[in-house]
Structure 1
Amino acid sequence: MWDLPEGVFLHDPPREEMGVLELGVEISGGKSIATSQFHTRALKIIRPHYLDDSGQVYYIVVNPGGGFVGGDAYRMKLDVADNASMLLTDQSAAKVYRTPDDFVVQNIEMSVGDGAVLEYVPDQLILYRDADFRQQIKADVHPNGSLFISDIITPGWSPDGGHFLYKQARIRTEVTMEGEVVLVDNLRINPLESEFGQDHDFIMGGKTHVATAICFDPGLTPERLDEVKGIVAKRAADDDDLIAAVTTCDRPGFVLRALGSRTEELMALVQAVANYVRGEMRGQGPIHLRQY
């Protein structure tokens, strides 16, 4: 576990890890291949696919258990070596069920080498009644590397039809380059706290779903960042249910945050931005997540 604020992601005594995935990718013969691979218990990966002629390898993470429950701990370590490229997703939505008096924790460590590409675009995270999910991502990216990661938080169905009955969603992402922290994004939603209920329309704009996308790429010039903002602004203008904005970073990169009422509209926005980066920077076609 990483050295984080007490009570946020750490657990005393240490938890037994319910799922571990470690994956290292390198370039060989013009294609990216796994050169180190380990998975156990509730995390597995499906055999690799190649969706275009770029040599990028595509992996799907599977949780055979079908969902997360209180006390679960998961860990992933992803290493993309110089000039290699990997697209990663999961087989279906991640479901977090009731976690009374406890929480689910997932820690993800990423390393992106010189000229390497890592795209991590999972399905939505569904939080059911009384769920508490905490995730920490630490990504170390070479200044010439490209990182694109996203998440969508969705409130799960409840018997009485109510929304926002989960305890907490906390997603903390830290990106470093050459030992320097270039981004800390800390999203925390506590729907059952009285302040949230009183200020829901202010905090969430009356929406129920939230999406985040974080991207760093040396090719993101100010002009291209303006184009990203234009893509987001146009989609928000065309959809009255969508609220979205882009914040640029000190290093070439951006953070997209969006609010909506449906997973589909948020995923379409995230993929539209990802597709722009793929096409503009590397000449790749749109993401096509074959999840089988």
Structure 2
Amino acid sequence: MNWSGLLQCTAIDKHGCTMISDCYYEGAFKLIRPVYLHPSQPTIYLIHLGGGYVDGDRYKTEIVLKEKAKLIATTQSATKVYKTVKMPVQQYTFIHLDEQSVLEFLPDPLIAYENAKFYQETTIHMKESSTLIYSDMITPGWSESGELFRYDWIRSKLKVYYEGSLKLFDHLYLKPGDEITGILQMEGYTHFGSFLVLSPFITNNVVHEMETVFSSFSSQAHIGWSTPMVPGLVVRILAYETDVIEMIFRAIHELIRKRCFGEGSIFLRKY
């Protein structure tokens, strides 16, 4: 199968320090040399060599963490989806987390421009002792008319297999024109954010502390949260600005790192 961009990365633990043991990329995808923002935990930046995603593009990313490996993954810039005349842009991400591994996958926002069609599917296989921290954000791109929500549609699927069983399935479908700003959809807001944490370290005490964090942003965004079938937390955010959602993401991430791992915050953005 031909891919516009293909990236595969495997991380292993060696004497308490995570290393990239195997890396391959081709097409429009590239992976730069890991940056150690934390002494034992590399940060990798996923790079798209073109200016954005266009008609018919197909991308695949696979990240594998072996036992006890810890990795932070983010992108170099926002994912920009431009006009798709014939075929939608498709993006597939596969994540495999072995025992006691920790992946923090925090990409920049997805920006869908006028007449864009985008399909995204993320499949995660993880162990009971592993930890996943995952965020996703969608913002409306510029259009010649100045109107928001000029993209054709966005469809995003997330599947999490926990010890081999499907425990979480999330399907987001946004199609302008179908009362997207109305009740049960965007509720008048323009930006959408989702933050997922699945970890044995997520206790009731951590969840209660999160409630305090959410309340501090009540005047800037509409935030909802729930606990899945396995230890963890799912957060949904509706707002009017990218910066607001990113601030909430940082606050959640900082609390998780502090309470679950005893680690300080890490600033990932490039600006």
Query: Does the alignment reach a TM-score above 0.5?
Result: yes
Match of 1:8 in 2: none
State the secondary structure of the residue aligned to 1:255: strand
Match of 1:3 in 2: none
State the secondary structure of the residue aligned to 1:277: helix
Stretches of structure 2 that go unaligned for 5 or more consecutive residues are none
How do 1:152-191 residues align onto structure 2 when only pairs under 5 Å count?
152-191=137-176
Stretches of structure 1 that go unaligned for 5 or more consecutive residues are 1-13
Of 201-210 and 21-30, more deviation after overlay is shown by: 201-210
CA distance in 1, matches of 2:270, 2:244: 19
Q: Determine if the alignment matches structure 1 residue 260 to structure 2 residue 239.
A: yes
Q: Determine if the alignment matches structure 1 residue 91 to structure 2 residue 53.
A: no
CA distance in 1, matches of 2:186, 2:253: 24
Q: What is the TM-score with the length of structure 1 in the denominator?
A: 0.89
Match of 2:91 in 1: 106
Aligned residue type for 1:113: D
State the secondary structure of the residue aligned to 2:185: helix
Match of 2:261 in 1: 282
Match of 1:206 in 2: 188
Q: Determine if the alignment matches structure 1 residue 216 to structure 2 residue 198.
A: yes
Offset at residue 291 of structure 1 (A): 3.8
- Alignment check: 8 A CA contact 1:232 1:246 kept: no
Match of 1:196 in 2: 179
CA distance in 2, matches of 1:223, 1:288: 25
- Alignment check: 8 A CA contact 1:279 1:286 kept: yes
Aligned residue type for 1:286: S
Superposed CA deviations along residues 54-80 of structure 1, whole A, max 9, x for unmatched, are x11100000011200110000000001
Offset at residue 179 of structure 1 (A): 1.1
Aligned residue type for 1:21: L
CA distance in 1, matches of 2:128, 2:221: 33
CA distance in 1, matches of 2:234, 2:153: 22
Superposed CA deviations along residues 27-71 of structure 1, whole A, max 9, x for unmatched, are 113211111110001110111011123x11100000011200110
Aligned residue type for 1:190: K
Give the structure with the higher percent strand.
Answer: 2
CA distance in 1, matches of 2:150, 2:254: 34
Aligned residue type for 1:114: E
Match of 2:227 in 1: 248
State the secondary structure of the residue aligned to 1:230: helix
- Alignment check: 8 A CA contact 1:233 1:245 kept: no
Give the structure with the higher percent helix.
Answer: 1
Superposed CA deviations along residues 172-192 of structure 1, whole A, max 9, x for unmatched, are 111111111111111110113
Aligned residue type for 1:82: E
Aligned residue type for 1:161: G
Q: Determine if the alignment matches structure 1 residue 235 to structure 2 residue 217.
A: yes
Aligned residue type for 2:207: L
Match of 1:151 in 2: 136
State the secondary structure of the residue aligned to 2:107: coil
CA distance in 2, matches of 1:290, 1:105: 25
Offset at residue 25 of structure 1 (A): 0.1
Match of 1:17 in 2: 3
Aligned residue type for 2:169: V
Aligned residue type for 1:254: L
Offset at residue 145 of structure 1 (A): 0.4
CA distance in 1, matches of 2:227, 2:31: 33
Offset at residue 149 of structure 1 (A): 0.7
Count of residues in correspondence between the two structures: 271
Q: What is the TM-score with the length of structure 2 in the denominator?
A: 0.96
How do 1:48-59 residues align onto structure 2 when only pairs under 5 Å count?
48-53=34-39, 55-59=40-44
Aligned residue type for 1:105: Q
- Alignment check: 8 A CA contact 1:103 1:131 kept: yes
* Moved beyond 3 Å, runs of 4+: none
CA distance in 1, matches of 2:269, 2:174: 31
Match of 1:120 in 2: 105
Superposed CA deviations along residues 123-145 of structure 1, whole A, max 9, x for unmatched, are 11000001111111111111010
Aligned residue type for 1:180: S
Aligned residue type for 1:139: I
Aligned residue type for 1:225: V
Q: Determine if the alignment matches structure 1 residue 225 to structure 2 residue 211.
A: no
